[in-house]
């Protein structure tokens, strides 16, 4: 069983329920974890036999560019797009971090995680 982690993909996006968030945007960090049988790649040394983390990053950026009101929604879209790209039996974890959300009080970040 192998594990690939792509951490702190940084994106500026326009997610949120407030109109202000649609106008000014905010900073996000996304972590992707994938586990599965990657032994073929271990032996072949061939990118086509594994999960390309460059493509993971591209998918995250593509999905983050589509506005959502909720980070739960964008996290699910990212997960769905990753699963469509790699159809082999893999376990995915998508973590979306919204930095400095516009809420009352001093909140550093809000995080949502989805697995599938």
Which active-site residues does the annotation give? 98
If DSSP states are collapsed to H, E and C, what string results for the chain? CEEEEEEEEEEEECCCCCHHHHHHCEEEEEEEEEEECCHHHHHHCCHHHCCCHHHHHHHHHHHHCCCCCCHHHHHHHHHHHHHHHCCCCCEEEEEEEEECCCCCCCCCEEEEEEEC
């Amino acid at each position: 069983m192998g594990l690939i982690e792509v951490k702190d993909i940084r994106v500026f996006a326009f997610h949120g329920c407030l109109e202000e968030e649609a106008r000014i945007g905010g900073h996000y960090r996304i972590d992707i974890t994938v586990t599965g049988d990657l032994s073929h790649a271990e032996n072949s040394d061939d990118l086509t036999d594994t999960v390309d983390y460059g493509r993971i990053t591209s998918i995250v950026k593509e999905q983050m560019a589509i506005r959502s009101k909720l980070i739960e929604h964008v996290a699910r879209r990212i997960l769905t797009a990753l699963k469509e790209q790699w159809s082999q039996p893999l376990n995915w974890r998508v973590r979306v971090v919204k930095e400095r959300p516009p809420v009352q009080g001093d909140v550093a970040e809000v995080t949502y995680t989805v697995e599938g």
